[in-house]
Amino acid sequence: MRDTLVLNASFEPLSTVTLNRAVVLVLQDKAVVEQAHPELRMRGAAVDIPAPRVIRLCQYVRVPFRRRAPWSRRGVLIRDRHRCAYCGRRATTVDHVVPRSQGGQDTWLNTVASCAQDNHRKANRTPEQAAMPLLRQPFEPTPADAMLLALGQDDIDALPEWLAQPAA
């Protein structure tokens, strides 16, 4: 799945959307193509345009900016791009690195995206105890990620529906 970067009218990166959604935004005149894939074209009944890699919104969208994103399960999945921290496959659950039963908390540094299978297998153990090393360390979201998280969170109602849907 190729994602397209969405820039605000002011050229700040806002989010990513699927290629199909990006094409729809362009066809609806809500966005213009800033950069396209050199080889790839989107062809349909009435469509033949270069596949957009970067699009820019025609209208400026105000995005609430938080320097520190509040922790959420959804946010962890977005931060980790829905990739399991233990096997790299698609993740649908959030695992506590140090389990809550051992004092682990709901924080960015103690939670990772995990597939259901690995989450179940790890159970109430640390990665060391379960012999399941992390493929990457959890981290605080960057300001750019915080913006992306803001798009998917409390302020979702303030945004146009087509922008509020994060890329799959």
| Angstrom distance (rounded) from CA 48 to CA 43 | 4
Residue 5, SS3 per DSSP = strand
Q: Does 130 bind Zn ion (CB under 5 A)?
A: no
Select the residue interacting with Zn ion from 9, 32, 36, 87 (CB under 5 A).
87
Q: Does 84 bind Zn ion (CB under 5 A)?
A: yes
* CA distances from residue 144 to 7, 39, 43, 67, 85 in whole angstroms, order as listed: 12, 29, 32, 9, 21
- 16 forms beta bridges with 5
> Tokens representing 48?
């033949």
- What is the smallest separation between the CB atom of 115 and Zn ion, expressed in angstroms? 3
Output 41 or 90, the one with its CB closest to Zn ion.
Answer: 90
Looking at residue 90, the DSSP 8-state letter turns out to be B
Q: Does 7 bind Zn ion (CB under 5 A)?
A: no
- What is the smallest separation between the CB atom of 79 and Zn ion, expressed in angstroms? 16
Determine the distance from the C-alpha atom of residue 134 to the mean position of all C-alpha atoms in its chain, rounded to a whole number.
Answer: 20
Looking at residue 85, the DSSP 8-state letter turns out to be T
Task: Give the footprint of Zn ion on residues 20-59 (CB under 5 A).
Answer: none
Q: Does 108 bind Zn ion (CB under 5 A)?
A: no
Q: Does 86 bind Zn ion (CB under 5 A)?
A: yes
- What is the smallest separation between the CB atom of 80 and Zn ion, expressed in angstroms? 11
Select the residue interacting with Zn ion from 118, 138, 151, 166 (CB under 5 A).
118
Contact 50, 40 (CB under 8 A): yes
Determine the distance from the C-alpha atom of residue 145 to the mean position of all C-alpha atoms in its chain, rounded to a whole number.
Answer: 8
Stretch that binds Zn ion, among 28-36, 64-72, 109-117, 120-128 (CB under 5 A): 109-117
Chain residues in the site for Zn ion (CB under 5 A): 84, 86-87, 115, 118
